[in-house]
């Protein structure tokens, strides 16, 4: 039942740390490669670099809600929300 999940390439869930600037502050973010791939795709779709997308997202969250308790969790949920949105668009397109 779970073979599609248990037999996935270990590189998908290996973690990578990237260094970037958030609001002028140098920081590092460690995420699984699968999440980095999705964030890269979101940034490309927006026509910006991944660090620029993440910095903009961080600025908007600060303005809307203040400092997030766990920014890497917010990034993972951003990736999931992107996938959910893409799936909903696909379902809507199929229904038309």
The C-alpha atoms of residue 13 and residue 34 are separated, in whole angstroms, by 6
Q: Which of 13-22, 45-54, 84-93 has the lowest mean pLDDT?
A: 84-93
Closest CA relative to residue 74, chosen from 54, 44, 92:
54
Predicted confidence (pLDDT) at residue 91 exceeds the cutoff of 80: no
For domain 11-95, the question of CATH label 3.40.50.2300 is answered with no
Contact of 15 with 30, CB cutoff 8 Å? yes
Query: pLDDT band at residue 94, thresholds of 50, 70 and 90?
Result: low
Q: Fill in the DSSP letter of residue 36.
A: H
- Provide the residue ranges of all domains of the chain, joining segments of one domain with +: 11-95
Query: pLDDT band at residue 1, thresholds of 50, 70 and 90?
Result: confident
pLDDT (mean) for 23-36: 95
pLDDT score for 95:
62
pLDDT (mean) for 51-68: 95
């Amino acid at each position: 039942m779970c073979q599609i999940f248990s037999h996935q390439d270990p590189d998908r869930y290996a973690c990578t740390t990237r260094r970037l600037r958030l609001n002028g502050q140098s920081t590092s973010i460690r995420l699984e490669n699968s999440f980095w791939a999705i964030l890269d795709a979101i940034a490309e779709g927006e026509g910006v670099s991944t660090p620029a997308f993440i910095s903009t997202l961080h600025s908007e969250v600060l303005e809307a809600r203040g400092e997030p308790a766990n920014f890497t969790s917010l990034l993972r949920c951003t990736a999931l929300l992107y996938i959910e949105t893409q799936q909903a668009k696909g379902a809507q397109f199929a229904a038309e």
